[in-house]
Structure 1
Amino acid sequence: MEIATPATARSSVVSTYRNWVGTWTMSPDTACYREAHIMDVCPSNYDRNELTNTCWTECPMDYPVECGMECIRQNDDCGIEVASKVSAVGITVLSSATFGVFGALEKLGKHAWWAAVCTTLVMVVMRGVLRYIRTLKASDPQASERKLLLLLFHSSIVVTDLPLAIAVCMKLHVSPNLILSQKVLTTAQWMLAQALAHDDSIISSWQRFRAFLKGANFTEAAEKITEGEIDSLETAMKQNSSCGGDLKSLVNRVWLIVNEYREESPAITDDEIRLKISDSDLVLQDIPIVTNNCMHQMIAESSLATAYKTREVLRKTFGVIMNDLIKSGKSDNGTSYDDKEKAYRVVDFAFTAAAVTLLDPTRITLFFSEFIQKICGPTQFMGEIDDGTEPATLGLNTLQKAFKGTKSSWTKKGDGAVIISFTSRDTKNVVVNIKSGGDKIDEVKVEAGGTGRWNSTVKALGGKTLYLDRWRPGFLGLPGTGGGSLVLWVPRSSQGGHLELEVKINVS
């Protein structure tokens, strides 16, 4: 049977929560330096400077206005900012002074015992497998068991997560080609056959799940798990969310995919890996979906606004982990490359502990947010945004009066058009500046009390911030851009997409 690799496996992640950009919040720092890499070809969300052969990050949602080597906040003035000190240095690394995040996470991870880790990981993985089987059956109700089995062996959850769970339960060393081990492959085939035959009944109760564990030859774990751990496991079985386990799965996939790239091409450069992984399903689909699925649990344990902030920290965390694993030579903590595996193990162990103890993801992000320096990298892991007309759909925000009352409408499926309609209530003629990813791309003249229209495409603007301000005659008739601004995220869409923006221009 042909089996996919971690890098070629199809995504098996299924969205369970509406993916919107979220409510806008003002960044605490005034600016950040733009992340830059010397590369021949730039990944998405980077601008290229041909003279210096450098890729500079496009300004993210937090700091949408480009200002030389910096990005500044919405409504801030570039000229003023250049004269002031930048407080948020844009270095996408973990704090190199102590690398304390791993020590903190290691303490957290030590609370999880082997039997609990084994049983919880198997439960989380099997829940994901069963969810993916339902998706496959819904798309092809007549599919035979053999066809479903072939599709499963080309899915990310079977190629990465299932063998890793088996390895933990069998106390095996984890390697990138783990799935090809005969022992692991035989066990995986048996577990998948049971999933196809018995559906959700496998994880419907501890008694049934215990029988499944013993059938997979994980008897020791099934016997050693404590009553308290069984209670936690039964609680997890009743929950729709498996946030901790799914986050652990993502960490595993990042590690295995980067390793696979290096094994396939030992001479591959860091930049080539960065370019390959930036267009992978992992970055474009899986990390956005999994972190967004955690919203169920995060909203239940906090508020919607806090949940959006926590999701953003989770996504930045994965950006940091990915950057560190991509870099060859010394790790960002100043240790040798071999120690990267230890660092990965600790992060992995922490997410495992979150899965086993049903830990609130906010607790995990508190560890990271203390040690991750302010990042002015690209806006990552947004994913495909679901339909909506509320400001939170695309993170639409207006500051001051200039564009107050503006409305947006986004559909994921569409003709690929971006249509901006302007309606002026102003008493003076204005020129609206249109900026994408921090760069000015056009301007539109709108007469006092008049209307205007500007057209573009999702293909041209997708995956970037869209920012509007306007020139208006002010004191002594001198034009200025004060008075307000507007920012929102323009999503990418595999189904075309359609964005309409009804912009109100007010006296300000």
Structure 2
Amino acid sequence: MVQLRFIGLLVAAVALQANAQYAGDDDVVGKVIPYGAAAYENREGEQPLQHWVGPAIPAAKDSACYRKTYRTKKCPVGYNSDNIATCWAQCPVDYPVECGMECLPQNADCTKAILGKVTSVATVALNAASSGMFGKFLSAGKGVQQGVKCGQQIFATVQKVTGYVTELEASGTGNTTTDQFQVLLEKSDLVTYDLPAAVATCLGKPIPAGLEKGNDIMDKVKAVTGQVLEAKKSGTNLLEPTNFIKFVADVGFSSAIPTLKSTQDVSSIKDAVSRGLGCGDAINKVVNRVIGMVQEIKTKDASTTVEALRVAVMGSDLVLKELPDAATGCFKVNMPNAFQKRDEVLKGIHVVLDGVINAASANAPTRTRGRALADEKPLSKADYALKVTEMGLDAISTFDPTGIADMAKEFVQPICGPTLFVGDIDDGPADQALGLRTMEKAFEGSVGDWKKQGDGQIHVTFKSTDSKDVEVVIKAGGQVHSKVKVAKGQTVEWSKPLSEFQGKTLYMDRWRSAILGVPMSSGGSLLAWIPSNAAGTLKLDVNLNNS
């Protein structure tokens, strides 16, 4: 069995180039941080990454990408129905122009040549790309020894439980008895979700769903929390290598981590945890909770279809809020391409979530097989639990953020999923908070401001310095929403509720008369991402230039 002292090499291998650093090791490796409010903060003395779309939306790397599809009538968040039986992904910010079954880069025209591509090509590409990356995750996960995963997850969880107890003491409960601390701990997410998941990994068992946890798992959970509380009471640092080795033996995990014999082994675990705690561990926690959510739904109705599960999961706070928080915590504000890397991590984990959801059926329907939805065979809760356990996805906790991002970049680029939610967008100038970007001269010089608390409206002031009358076509998620006529040299005010655009791209195209007075779309475009929070305010000053 691979020795834990070589865990750095093992993690680098399974993370697939996870050690590709930006400017040096300190960009990824930092001090271990406590559980609680600081859990997603970046390293000491450095600013965390803002909840912004980013000051520069990455340039499209391909001439087009295929829109991801699901064969169902009820669409998950980020998809539009064709009113027949298919949900199509809304075009994302890096490919905002909807063109049939494809999305094109900003400023591109939808041509007959692109429309002539065959649908089967798109679906084959979709399945090859998605399954290729998911298979890469599975291969990486299975390459990580159980002892490695157990050691890292127990170390990280003990660290967070210890930090949580410290927070309780600091919050004015310093006179609380050990029994009272135990009650408070048992009500926390740490003991409800995180610790049972870590124990299940060590025991080689499926992640428990909800409150349905076996006696063997709960006995270990109580043993761990008891040891942590006793250590706090006596002033013992359980994370000190010698103490951690004794702790592992006392709670009965020695057989799960047979190579944990020296302080050097513990130092290797500690180093791996410090690399992953702000990213891999936090993302793994969300994946575990999604698995638990699927199991709970199956407890109520084992026949729930894959597409019904997808709608429930993708519209949940786990995906819309907690996952973006975890991904944002992977990077520091001064990292080159931090916003782009964050988005690549989100793409990668969404592929994993697709795999987790599809695993709920023995034959999840795909377009390439042409199988009718009625032929789907949902798995029982028990069979699903075993299936996802065999995937080895708990190895995500060992992954460095650059490893996840590199896999996403390699496999997901040809496929357009919807723009992935980055949580509530913080206040800021529109070019940074919402990724506002203009191309060519038509809208050059346009600016704006976003506030997450406001009147729930988009306010646009169109100011023309053009020598001709123009029409601005405004699109939401790639589809035409409104058309605004602006006479030459005039100023026009336009407002609409944010709710009509939330969670979609805002795209503006200028139509202007050209040869023989025929209107044409030319001269440039404007693009921004509208947050999912409909309670904010967006103000845009849009220039219509003579070009």
Q: 2:91 aligns with which of 49, 59, 78?
A: 59
Q: Which residue of 1 aligns with 2:148?
A: 116
- Secondary structure of the structure 2 residue equivalent to 1:413: coil
Q: Against the structure 1 CA distance between its residues 163 and 319, is the aligned structure 2 distance closer, same or farther, given a 3 Å change threshold? A: closer
Measured in 1, the distance between the counterparts of 2:301 and 2:225 equals 32
Measured in 1, the distance between the counterparts of 2:145 and 2:261 equals 10
1:53: how far off? Answer: 4.5
Measured in 2, the distance between the counterparts of 1:170 and 1:66 equals 49
Q: Which residue of 2 aligns with 1:224?
A: 259
1:39, 1:54 within 8 Å by CA — same for their partners in 2?
yes
- Secondary structure of the structure 2 residue equivalent to 1:247: helix
1:73 aligns with 2:105: yes
1:194: how far off? Answer: 5.8
- Secondary structure of the structure 2 residue equivalent to 1:62: coil
Write out aligned runs for 1:459-498 (5 A): 459-493=499-533, 496-498=535-537
1:307 aligns with 2:346: no
1:255 aligns with 2:287: no
Measured in 1, the distance between the counterparts of 2:215 and 2:221 equals 10
The alignment-based identity, stated in percent, is: 31
Write out aligned runs for 1:71-470 (5 A): 71-80=103-112, 82-83=114-115, 85=117, 89=122, 95=128, 101=133, 104-105=136-137, 108-109=140-141, 112-129=144-161, 153=186, 156-172=189-205, 174-176=207-209, 180-192=213-225, 198=232, 202=237, 205-210=240-245, 212-220=247-255, 224-225=259-260, 228-236=264-272, 241-296=277-332, 303-304=337-338, 307-308=341-342, 310-330=344-364, 345-348=390-393, 350-352=395-397, 355=398, 360-372=400-412, 374-389=414-429, 391-470=431-510
Measured in 2, the distance between the counterparts of 1:135 and 1:400 equals 53
Aligned partner of 2:315: which letter? Answer: D
1:349: how far off? Answer: 5.0
1:37, 1:54 within 8 Å by CA — same for their partners in 2?
yes
- Secondary structure of the structure 1 residue equivalent to 2:418: coil
1:60: how far off? Answer: 1.9
Aligned partner of 1:26: which letter? Answer: A
Aligned partner of 1:310: which letter? Answer: E
Measured in 1, the distance between the counterparts of 2:141 and 2:315 equals 32
Q: What 5-or-longer segments of structure 1 have no aligned partner?
A: 1-10
1:288, 1:315 within 8 Å by CA — same for their partners in 2?
no
1:265: how far off? Answer: 0.3
Aligned partner of 1:44: which letter? Answer: V
1:397: how far off? Answer: 1.6
Aligned residues: 487
Q: Relative to structure 2, which stretch is displaced further, 221-230 or 243-252?
A: 221-230
1:326-377 per-position Cα deviation (integer Å, ceiling 9, x unaligned):
555258799x97799557644515424xx2xxx5322244345444473223
Q: Which residue of 2 aligns with 1:506?
A: 545
1:84: how far off? Answer: 5.7
1:293: how far off? Answer: 1.2
1:151: how far off? Answer: 6.8
Aligned partner of 1:218: which letter? Answer: F
1:491: how far off? Answer: 0.5
TM-score using structure 2 length: 0.75
Q: Against the structure 1 CA distance between its residues 410 and 27, is the aligned structure 2 distance closer, same or farther, given a 3 Å change threshold? A: same
Aligned partner of 2:290: which letter? Answer: V
Q: Against the structure 1 CA distance between its residues 411 and 183, is the aligned structure 2 distance closer, same or farther, given a 3 Å change threshold? A: same
Q: What 5-or-longer segments of structure 2 have no aligned partner?
A: 1-35, 42-47, 370-376
Q: Which residue of 1 aligns with 2:77?
A: 44
- Secondary structure of the structure 2 residue equivalent to 1:419: strand
Measured in 2, the distance between the counterparts of 1:348 and 1:191 equals 23
1:214, 1:222 within 8 Å by CA — same for their partners in 2?
no
1:291-330 per-position Cα deviation (integer Å, ceiling 9, x unaligned):
221124x975x64365245334434434543453355525
2:444, 2:543 within 8 Å by CA — same for their partners in 1?
yes
Measured in 2, the distance between the counterparts of 1:435 and 1:246 equals 35
1:485: how far off? Answer: 0.6
Measured in 2, the distance between the counterparts of 1:314 and 1:203 equals 34
Q: Against the structure 1 CA distance between its residues 319 and 132, is the aligned structure 2 distance closer, same or farther, given a 3 Å change threshold? A: same
1:258-313 per-position Cα deviation (integer Å, ceiling 9, x unaligned):
233223202222222122112212111122111221124x975x643652453344
1:34, 1:377 within 8 Å by CA — same for their partners in 2?
yes
TM-score using structure 1 length: 0.80
Q: Against the structure 1 CA distance between its residues 375 and 314, is the aligned structure 2 distance closer, same or farther, given a 3 Å change threshold? A: same
- Secondary structure of the structure 2 residue equivalent to 1:422: strand
Measured in 2, the distance between the counterparts of 1:136 and 1:58 equals 44
1:77-112 per-position Cα deviation (integer Å, ceiling 9, x unaligned):
123554564898367965389x66566556645664
1:483: how far off? Answer: 0.7
Q: Against the structure 1 CA distance between its residues 123 and 36, is the aligned structure 2 distance closer, same or farther, given a 3 Å change threshold? A: same
Q: Against the structure 1 CA distance between its residues 273 and 237, is the aligned structure 2 distance closer, same or farther, given a 3 Å change threshold? A: closer
Measured in 1, the distance between the counterparts of 2:126 and 2:172 equals 47
Q: Against the structure 1 CA distance between its residues 194 and 416, is the aligned structure 2 distance closer, same or farther, given a 3 Å change threshold? A: farther
1:468, 1:487 within 8 Å by CA — same for their partners in 2?
yes
Measured in 2, the distance between the counterparts of 1:417 and 1:147 equals 48
1:32, 1:90 within 8 Å by CA — same for their partners in 2?
no
